[in-house]
Amino acid sequence: MRSELFQQVSTEPPGKRVHFLFALLVSVAACATKEPVKTDAGPEKPTTTAPAPTASAPPSPVPTAPVPTPQPSSPAAVASPRLLNETERAEVSRVLHRFSVDFAQTFHVNLNGFGDCFFASTTYKENNVGDFLIVQGDRVSLVLPKNPSAESWTRSEVKAVAFTSLDDDAYTDVVAIAEYMTGIGPTGAVPFPVVFYYHGTGPKSFRLDEATSNSATEKKVSSIAAAKKHIGR
C-alpha cells in the first residue's frame, strides 16, 4: 500500500504533490496521537446471576402420641384383696360362728360377679371339714364347691389364696392351696398340699376345675406361682 501511495504522489504535478504530502502527514500525525475514548462510568462491574429459587420442603408433620386403646380391667386388678381389720374380723366371726376362720387367708375383696365381699378360708368346727366361703353383709352368699377327692381328708391349714384370671373372661378366678392330712397309715399325720382351681362363671358363681386340681395335687404343687405354671399361665 505504501508503494502505491508513493507511486500516486510521484505522478502528481509538483504543486499538488506538496499539498498532498502535507495533508498525508497531518492525517498520520492525527492517527498517531489519537487516544481511546474514556468514560466516567468506572471499571466494569462483574455481573452476578441470582441463584434460581429452590422449592422449599414441606414442613414435617408433628408426631403425635398414639391414642391408647381402652382395655377392660382385669379381674385380678379389680379384686384388690386385703386382710381384714379388727371391725371386719368381728363381723365375719359373728356371721361364721360355727366355723373356725383362718384370718391369715381371709380377705376383703371386690370380685367381678359379687362386688365387695369377704372371701373366708374356714373349717367347720364339728368335723374340721374345710370350706371357702363368700360373705356379704350378715350372711354367706356362696359356699365354693368342694373337691370330692379331698372330702375324706382333714384340712390343717390354708397356705395361699390368689385372685387372678385363669381363662381371660370377665369374672375373677381363684387359686387356693391348702394342706391336708389323710389320717391313715404311717404318713397319715403328714400334711401335703392340695390345689383348688376355681373359675368364676357368672354372677355369684364359681366352678371347680376338679381334673386340673387333682393333677396339680398329684404333682405336689405347693405355691401359687407353680400352680399358675402348671396350667401355663
Q: H/E/C letters for each residue in 183-219?
A: CCCCCCCCCEEEEEEEEEEECCEEEECHHHHHHHHHC
- As to burial, measured by CB atoms within 10 angstroms (0-12 exposed, 13-18 middle, 19+ buried), residue 108 is middle
Residue 60 has pLDDT above 90, yes or no: no
The arithmetic mean of pLDDT across residues 113-127, rounded, is 93
The arithmetic mean of pLDDT across residues 118-132, rounded, is 94
Please provide residue 204's backbone torsions phi and psi, each rounded to the nearest 5 degrees.
55, 50
The arithmetic mean of pLDDT across residues 198-227, rounded, is 96
199, 211 Cβ separation under 8 angstroms: no
CA 126 – CA 76 distance, rounded (Å) = 34
Determine the pLDDT at residue 67. Answer: 47
The arithmetic mean of pLDDT across residues 3-15, rounded, is 49
Determine the pLDDT at residue 26. Answer: 46
State pTM to two decimals: 0.68
